[in-house]
Structure 1
Amino acid sequence: MAPAARRPATSAQRSTGGQRSSIPQLSWRAAQPAPIVLVSGPEEVCAERAIAGVRDYLRAEDPSLEVSDLRADDYPAGSLLALTSPSLFGEPRLLRITGVEKCSDAFLSEALSYLETPQEGATVILRHTGATQRGKKLLDAVRAGTGGGVEVACAAIKRDSDRFDFAAGEFRSAQRRIAPTALRTLVSAFADDLTELAAACQQLIADVPGDITEQIVERYYGGRVETSAFAVADTAIAGRYGEALLTLRHALASGADPVPLVAAIASKLRTMARVAGSREPAGALAARLGLKDWQVDRARRDLSGWNETSLGLAIQSAARADVEVKGGSRDPVFALERLVTVIATRAPFGS
């Protein structure tokens, strides 16, 4: 079957890193070739998907695609032009360049020159994580339209709602259905590692025929779910003191890191504080706070039995524990147990 014709990218005016971009902005899930493809931003999972998507698109158009790789921070002079120049048989070329945020002077100079006259039949991917301002002159030139480029922005995925959207997108892209409760359970189980969450989604997509239910997620990742950071937070916030300590100890015995455990607990407490006292409909409040409807509903349920004083005490305890598990204490496990005690009993420690 003949490959699909290359679709024109949609143009957009977007502020990228403080600069107004005049080139098409593409989703990392729908990256397409162009003479220059700038893959920007810190989220490596999304960047890898975007780069693989461009490769697959080009390979579908012509299986003889030549793929080469370069590092911009360890750059042999002349390599850019050599690897993009037409070969004897005129095969299309894809050059993937990483480390642009650490690029050498030689690479920067040659890349800026290349933008003026890109090679016909070549696609050059520039990967810049945004970790430094190095290479900004090159990025500015690409975003100004020099070289006929497009940009695929891969922003960091940090919020619970962003992780939920990411996982939902994995199943939607595969045209697979997953129950909302199953999706929430899966995201909670891998709240600390987007790479692992992506792998878990792909495993379920590959292994499970038909719809994916909460029971299936429990069967695959039940042990992970039971000891996840959010399981510790949920039992403590619900006031189940003994169960919360057992869940915490199980998590630590399974190798859980105290830092993300505290982060998960603090995240839920912050959401509770943001929702507390509001009588807005869940949808309106969620939109205003950048949350999902179900997160607002869950926070409102979690608030049962809490008041302003106990919630403030818990948030202060979470802040103290955060400092202690990051090196401020010799015993991070005790800091965690004290935090869980304060939350589960809704009273000062030792009272």
Structure 2
Amino acid sequence: MASPARRAPAKAARSAIPQLSWRAPQPAPIVLVSGPEEVCAERAIAGVRDYLRAEDPTLEVSDIRADDYAAGTLLGVTSPSLFGEPRLVRVSGVEKCSDTFLAEAVAYLAAPQDGATVVLRHTGASVRGKKLLDAIRAGEGSGVEIACPAVKRDSDRFDFAAGEFQAAKKRIAPTALRALVSAFADDLTELAAACQQLIADVPGDITEQVVERYYGGRVETSAFTVADTAIAGRYGEALIALRHALASGADPVPLVAAVAMKLRTMARVAGNREPAKALASRLGMKDWQIDRARRDLVGWNEESLGRAIQATARADAEVKGGSRDAVFALERMITVIATRAPYGA
């Protein structure tokens, strides 16, 4: 059987067990895969399986549903077989587990079966199973935890996509990465699939032109394309991009959020002459984000930037229910930003 993973710093004082990255999972008698991000959880569980199978191709894999559980199943599938093959048991739905499963799983922690790896998937959607999670995190059962927190912020999506290429030892240009992330800003599963397709299909470095060739239709109508053209002062192109995005089914709220994110970054960088690396470190950003914000700031001044931020805040309130005409609110915002002048001036 694989030995338990080496101890890593716990992510919080409440946990006494090793905390592993979903990109580098390792087996242990008990593996708790926690958090709502299914893409990361699936990768972690598959990684544990691949790790064990590489050690012994005769690995037996069993799947259990914790919410539809028959008494005695856990002990049955973890018990040694006649030939002593290693066993991997994947348990789904722990956040909605039955009382029977909960009782048997807690009891199992006291005496895990030799040669068995039990992976428990808890999405965090409820507090159901808390007794089991607390026991695992307290160190019972020689467990490890693989956290899969939700990927919500733009910076998280950038980090996720960048990690895909880093793990594959594949280089992608910053502009290409940004185009790719903006094209799949609403679906991490699709973003992950797009990254893997580029990694598999493209022999050399991945450039912005490669991303446009594969996903040009999505990139052209993305929220960041609308934001980029407006901030660059290309008024006509910005309005066309906005209309294409809306015609493609884009939600006005993320459109405004994309514009607001770029303007906030510009405001944080404006007037600061620190080297990009030092400023990025201090602001919790990437070097290329600083460089891009500084390029975006060409032609802007404090007054026009402040006006654009106010127009974006107004549009944000209006597309969230403050106005009956969200399209007009978006067009007015784009006009103020692209012309760098008050609306109607």
* Fold similarity call, TM over 0.5: yes
2:34 pairs with 30, 36, 40, which one? 40
Deviation readout 1:155-202 (Å, 9 max, x if unpaired): 233333332332222122223233333323322322332221111111
Counterpart secondary structure, 1:68: strand
2:66 aligned with 1:75: no
Distance, in Å, in 2 between the alignment partners of 1:106 and 1:265 is: 51
1:253 and 2:247 equivalent?
Answer: yes
Q: CA 1:122–1:7 in structure 2 vs 1: closer, same or farther (change >3 Å)?
A: closer
Amino acid at match of 2:190: E
2: CA distance between counterparts of 1:180 and 1:315? 26
Which of 296, 303, 312 is residue 302 of structure 1 equivalent to? Answer: 296
Secondary structure, counterpart of 2:271 in structure 1? coil
Q: Percent identity?
A: 81
Q: Check conservation: 2:18, 2:145, Cα contact below 8 A.
A: yes
- TM-score, length of structure 1 as denominator length: 0.89
Which of the numbers 177, 195, 198 marks the counterpart of 2:192?
198
Does the CA contact (< 8 Å) of 1:77 and 1:107 recur in 2?
yes
Moved more, 75-84 or 137-146: 75-84
Alignment partner, residue 54 of structure 1: 48
Asked if structure 2 preserves the Cα contact closer than 8 Å seen for 1:26 and 1:150, the reply is yes
2:4 paired with 1:11: no
Alpha-carbon distance change, 242 to 32 in structure 1, aligned in 2, over 3 angstroms: same
Moved more, 133-142 or 48-57: 133-142
Instruction: Compute the RMSD of aligned alpha carbons.
Output: 2.3
Q: Secondary structure at the match of 2:64?
A: strand
Count of residues in Structure 1 that have an aligned counterpart in Structure 2: 345
Cα distance change on mapping 1:78 and 1:323 into 2, 3 Å:
farther
Structure 1's consecutive aligned runs of 4 or more residues displaced over 6 angstroms after TM superposition are none
Q: Is the 8 A contact 1:70 1:95 kept in 2?
A: yes
Corresponding position of 2:78:
84
Q: Which runs of 5+ in 1 are unaligned?
A: none
Kept after mapping to 2: 8 A contact 1:275/1:300:
yes
- Alignment counterpart, residue 97 of structure 1, candidates 91, 94, 97: 91
The AA in structure 1 aligned to 2:9 is: Q
Please say if residues 72 and 99 of structure 1, whose CA atoms lie closer than 8 Å, have aligned partners that are also in contact. yes
Deviations 1:86-131 (A, max 9, x none): 3343332222222223333332222211111112221111122233
CA distance, structure 2, for counterparts of residue 306 and residue 130 of structure 1: 45
Structure 2 gaps, min length 5: none
Query: Which residues in structure 2 correspond to 1:1-351 (within 5 Å)?
Result: 6=2, 9-16=5-12, 19-351=13-345
Return the letter of the residue paired with 1:15: K
Q: Structure 1 residue 327: deviation in Å?
A: 4.0
Confirm or deny: 8 A CA contact 1:13 1:20 kept in the other structure.
no
Structure 2 CA distance for aligned equivalents of residues 184 and 229 of structure 1:
12
Q: In 2 relative to 1, CA 230–148 (structure 1 residues): closer, same or farther, beyond 3 Å?
A: same
